[in-house]
Amino acid sequence: METLERIIAEHPFFAGLDDDFTRLMVGCASNVRFKAGTYILKEGDLAEAFYLIRAGRVALEVRAPQRPIIISTLEVGDILGWSWLLSPFQWKFHARAVDEVRAIALDGKCLRTKCEENHDLGYEILKRFARIMEQRLDMTRFQLLDVYGARH
């Protein structure tokens, strides 16, 4: 637990959170490991957790008729998953461990309840996730532009 606390306290995503909140986070956290090729989460499933990736690469995939399409990869330091935060609390994509992945899983349901009870905590969490969504949106828009396509 002590190691978890230090990891969470030092992770840039949680920077600026006061000690009480950090302890709350740690209360909802656990170490997890995924073998290469396995699915960390699947489209349509209930979203109950989010992950702080500590090692390995994760591929976000969309199921297409012939084969899955990788839309993005996440690595060490990245946060995986925000659908636990907003209803209907369902994953929109698959996330597959490309290599062996070690991560810290944070219990989303537990955290959600705590955020409803403590709006200050809720605001801090939402601010941080909004930043992630903004970055992913920028990245996705850039990707959509298909700048290397023939007609540019």
Partner 1 sequence: MTATTMNDPMLPQPFLVCEVSKETPDTFTLRLDPQESNGVTGFQPGQFSMLWVYGVGELPISISGDPTLRDRLVYTVRSVGQATHSLVNQAVGSNVGVRGPFGVGWPVEVARGRDIIVVAGGIGLAPLRPVIYQVLQNRKDYGRLVILYGARSPRDLLYRKELAKWARSPETQVLVTVDYGGLSWRGHVGVVTTLFKYSRLHAARSVAMVCGPEIMMRFVIRELEVQGLSGDDIYLSMERNMKCAVGFCGHCQYGPHFICKDGPVFPYEQIRPLLEKHEL
Position 67 contacts partner 1 (CB under 8 A): yes
Nearer to partner 1, 96 or 114 (CB): 96
The owner of tokens 């009480």 is 20
Which of 24, 98, 132, 133 binds partner 1 (CB under 8 A)? It is 98
Where is 3: in which H helix or E strand? helix 2-10
Q: How far apart are CA 141 and CA 131, in angstroms?
A: 15
| 19: Cβ contacts below 8 Å, ≥ 6 apart | none
Which of 32, 70, 110, 126 binds partner 1 (CB under 8 A)? It is 70
Shortest distance, CB of residue 131 to partner 1, whole angstroms? 13
Nearer to partner 1, 22 or 72 (CB): 72
Shortest distance, CB of residue 45 to partner 1, whole angstroms? 22
The answer to whether the CB of 46 falls within 8 A of the CB of 89 is yes
H-type alpha helices, 11-145? 19-27, 108-117, 119-144
Interface residues with partner 1 (CB under 8 A) are 57, 59, 67-73, 75-78, 98-99, 139, 142-143, 145-150, 152
